[in-house]
Amino acid sequence: MTMTDPGTTLLAIYDMDKTVTRRATYNGFLLHMALNKSPWRLFLSPLLPVGLLLYAVKIWDRARLKQFSQMLLIGHRVSRDKFGQYLESHADLVVGKNVYPQLLARVAEEKAAGYRHVMATASYRLYVEAIAQRLGFDDVIATDLSTDSSGHVLARIDGHNCYDAAKLELVKGWMAAHGIERESCYIRAYSDHVSDAPLLAFADEAYATNPHQPLAEMARANGWEIIDWREAQT
C-alpha cells in the first residue's frame, strides 16, 4: 500500500531522545525532580556510577539501571500528585531548550499531509506525554511505571522497557489496540540509534535521524534516508 491509496492510515513514528531532542532526557528528568521535590537526594548522586558499572559489565540491563537511578534521585514510592507538580515545568524546559526546531516544521508538514504522530520511546510515559502534547503528537508509546494499590508511582518498570525489539512489539500492540492493520497503513519511522533497527525495518519509509555512526552505516547499507539536524547547530 502507498501513502496515496484511498483509506490508507498515515503514521509517523518518532523516537524521542536524540531524535526529537538534542540530548537524552532521562537524567534531566531525574535531576529536575530531585531539585524540586527532594534536593537532599542529590547527595546520593555519587552512587549513580555504581549502577553504570553494573550495566557496563552486563550484570544489570538498561531497565534495572533506570530503576536504580530513579530510586536514588526520586524515591522508591512517590504519589502521583508529587510528580504532577513538576512534569509540566519539566516539559516546558525540554520543549524550550532541547528540541530541534526542524522537528516542529517536519511535524507540521506531515500533519498537513494527514499523518497521525506517535512518539515511541524508551523514556517514561510519566514525563513523555506532556512533552509529546506540546510538540503536536497524537499518541505515546513508552515505558510504563508500576503503581501500588494506593496509586503511588513505584521505581519499577511495568512490562517491557520500550527499547529495541520490544519497542516494535509495543508499536504492533498499539496498532492492534487501535484497529490499525499493517496492510492498511503507511508508516514513516524516525530514530537516531541502531537499537531501533527493528522499527525502521518495519516502516515503509525509514529515516536515520541525527544518527550515531552504527546507524548511519546501517542506513547506507539499507537505503534508508539520513536526516541530520545537528548540522544546522554547528
What is the Cα 67 distance to its own chain's centre?
16
Q: How far apart are CA 103 and CA 86, in angstroms?
A: 24
Confidence of residue 105 (pLDDT cuts 50, 70, 90): very high
How many Å apart are CA 98 and CA 162, to the nearest integer? Answer: 21
Q: What is the pLDDT averaged over residues 6-15? A: 93
- pLDDT of 72 over the 60 cut: yes
Q: Which long-range contacts (CB under 8 A, 24 or more apart) does 82-88 make?
A: 82/37, 83/33, 83/126, 83/153, 85/36, 85/37, 86/32, 86/33, 86/36, 86/37, 87/126, 87/127, 87/130, 88/130
Percent of the chain with pLDDT over 90: 90
User: Pairing state of beta strands 139-147 and 116-124?
Assistant: parallel
pTM for this model (two decimals) = 0.93
Query: Rounded to whole angstroms, what are the CA distances from 167 to 15, 120, 209?
Result: 10, 7, 17
User: Is the model's pLDDT at 232 over the cut of 70?
Assistant: no
pLDDT at 80: 87
DSSP character string of 70-119: HHHHT-SEE-HHHHHHHHHHHHHHHHHHSB-HHHHHHHHHHHHTTPEEEE
Provide the residue ranges of all domains of the chain, joining segments of one domain with +. 9-233
Please tell me the distance from the alpha carbon of residue 150 to that of residue 145, in angstroms, as a whole number: 14
Per-residue pLDDT tens over the stretch 111-170: 999 999 999 999 999 999 999 999 999 999 999 999 999 989 999 999 999 999 999 999
For the record, the C-alpha cell of 179 comes out as 484497529
For residue range 160-206, what is the model confidence (pLDDT) as tens digits?
A: 999 999 999 999 999 999 999 999 999 999 999 999 999 999 999 99
| Residue 159 Rama label (left phi>0; alpha psi -120 to 50; beta) | left
What does the angle CA 79 – CA 84 – CA 90 come to, to the nearest 5 degrees?
130
Q: Report the pLDDT averaged over residues 60-82.
A: 93
CB 140 within 8 A of CB 125: yes
Phi, psi of 89 (to 5 degrees): -70, -35
Does domain 9-233 correspond to CATH entry 2.60.40.10? no
3 state DSSP class of 41: helix
